[in-house]
Amino acid sequence: MCFLTLAEKIDKMACAYTFGGLKMADKTNANIGFEKQLWDAACVLWGHIPAAEYRKVIIGLIFLRYISAAFEKRYNELVADGDGFEDDIDAYTMENVFFVPEEARWSTIASAAHTPEIGTVIDNAMRAIEADNKVLKNVLPKNYASPDLDKRVLGEVVDIFTNNIDMSDTEASEDLLGRTYEYCIAQFAEKEGVGGGEFYTPSSVVKTLVSILRPFENCRVYDCCCGSGGMFVQSAKFIEAHSGNRDSISVYGQEANADTWKMAKINMAIRGIDADFGPYQADTFTNDLHPTLKADFILANPPFNYHPWNQEKLLDDVRWKYGIPPAGNANYAWIQHMIHHLAPNGKIGLVLANGALSTQSGGEGEIRKKMVEDDLVEGIVALPTQLFYSVTIPVTLWFISKNKKQKGKTLFVDARKMGYMLDRKHRDFTDEDIQKLADTFTQFQNGTLEEVKGFCAVADIQEIEKQDFILTPGRYVGIEEIEDDGEPFEKKMERLTSELSDMFAKSHELEEEIRKKLGAIGYEVK
């Protein structure tokens, strides 16, 4: 029921939300062209398996449907060339296309849709692809033959993918799958609540981080709690959009959740991004899989206020340069872990709950003081609420730099009034919002920023010290100035009191009318 409702909402969004000829789809990643069909597939499964399982089922089929479509397109091109290379694996990999063995092609799967063996056919397809693509070994879902999954229902889903979803007719085919994948995990995050937030950071938040940090070619990008890998996708996109080579980026990540780690591996594979996520999932604090890495850019959305995090086992860890983080909250453990992995000119962009800005408990205030005194904190951005699917608490973007352009200064931005309501529950940034924030940082770094009351301000270390090293932007940017409308105070008060008097009179009239109507049916207001 809820998926049908969601599909209807999405359908309306795609065709009705237009502002001056610019569709909402141009401002958000919500619309990809066939959302309704995708959610029809999800709707068929709804009620038959738990949400966490249908996520795996749908995403696995998206992956399978796409790589088969991309393969068939390339296969037909090679057949048309007439050189006999249609069965040569290299002829596919050189074009960043997966070679799909016959038993894994969608035509094979579609023909078995209404047989009792459909689950086994899909599982075997996944195994065949893993065998030919070592990067995906033990990564793809192989739960389709499970007795808990109704094979009639699965066949109906396969039919929807066969008849209603076309992934082949695009020049940017890998981006099509990537956007499809991103769309799905965003919606699954919404449906799964807090659990969903473990693998997905809203794309507008990621874009803001990337647009401010501006990763460049031949850089090392790291995310110590990488989820589905969205930080890397946007970094690669940014480099490509600025006339760079996206293949030059070196990607390093780590993820503790096994299913999420697999999702990240799939996401990188479909994007054609070569990533080192380690040989398995692992806890970043107790088993750092990249112990010698020094990254140029670190982007992360660590679990908010995470605990317990095994502090008692790590009291003498080299990463705690500014102090041992408290056992009850890992916020400053994440920050210091990232600083430890930062190259001499490296930059960090991360998301944290607002409490990290001002907390004094467990030595956190002293850690924050030492970081400020070491001139690491380049900027703080207070975000509006409702940007995230899984949490409603206020969050902040932190920007940390080993070699700041503006020595001894920190930029504070209050962006809580920015963005627009995508629906009743969720806020989003427009591209213009993101660009405004990026431009604000650029101007700050260039020394040309004009402070705006209520929005942005620059403070030196001495000013921050006067605020007890609390980094809440509101303390520095002040209150937005209200534009003077030119109306003298006396006249304004005369006008407003007259309007109020009229309102009072009207309310009395309404009150009397209500009393009469109630009296007519035998009731009296006492």
Give the model's pLDDT for residue 133. 82
Q: 138, 168, 192: which is the final residue of a domain?
A: 192
Q: 192, 224, 258: which is the final residue of a domain?
A: 192
Residue 175 resides in a domain:
yes
> Strand pairing partners for 411?
379, 458
Q: How many domains does the chain have?
A: 3
Tokens at 213, concatenated: 């940090």
Block residue for tokens 């931005």: 413
Tokens at 122, concatenated: 């899909």
CA distance 416 to 414: 6
- Looking at residues 438-452, what average pLDDT do you find? 98
Residues 309-368: pLDDT tens digits?
999 999 999 999 999 999 999 999 999 999 999 999 999 999 999 999 999 999 999 999
CA distance 255 to 264: 9
Say which DSSP state 481 is in. P
SS3 state of residue 117: coil
Same-domain status, 133 and 65: yes
Same-domain status, 432 and 472: yes
Backbone φ and ψ of 276, nearest 5° = -105, 100
Kindly report whether the peptide bond that precedes residue 303 is cis, defined as omega within 30 degrees of 0.
no
Residues 450-467: pLDDT tens digits?
999 999 999 999 999 999
Same-domain status, 215 and 350: yes
Residue 483 resides in a domain:
no
CATH of the domain at 359: 3.40.50.150
Q: Judge whether 461 and 372 are in contact, CB under 8 Å.
A: yes
Residue 427 resides in a domain:
yes
SS3 state of residue 342: strand
Q: Which residue segment(s) compose the domain that 336 sits in? A: 196-477
- Looking at residues 152-164, what average pLDDT do you find? 89
CA distance 48 to 34: 23
Q: 192, 214, 232: which is the final residue of a domain?
A: 192
Same-domain status, 182 and 204: no
Reported as a pLDDT band with limits 50, 70 and 90, residue 377 is very high
Give the model's pLDDT for residue 296. 97
Residue 494 resides in a domain:
yes
Amino acid, res. 158: V
Per-residue exposure over 131-140, b if at least 16 CB sit within 10 Å of its own CB, e if not: eebeebeebb
Please count the CA atoms within 13 angstroms of the CA of 95 that sit on its side-chain side.
Answer: 19
Q: Judge whether 219 and 250 are in contact, CB under 8 Å.
A: yes
Residue 127 resides in a domain:
yes
Same-domain status, 161 and 214: no
Same-domain status, 147 and 288: no
Please give the span between the terminal C-alpha atoms of the chain, in angstroms, as a whole number.
Answer: 46
Block residue for tokens 């080192």: 276
- Strand 420-421 to 427-428 pairing: antiparallel
Same-domain status, 205 and 153: no
CA distance 51 to 36: 18
Same-domain status, 149 and 69: yes
What is the length of the chain? 526
Residues 98-125: pLDDT tens digits?
889 999 999 999 999 999 999 999 999 9
Same-domain status, 260 and 209: yes
Reported as a pLDDT band with limits 50, 70 and 90, residue 28 is very low
CATH of the domain at 182: 1.20.1260.30
Give the model's pLDDT for residue 340. 98
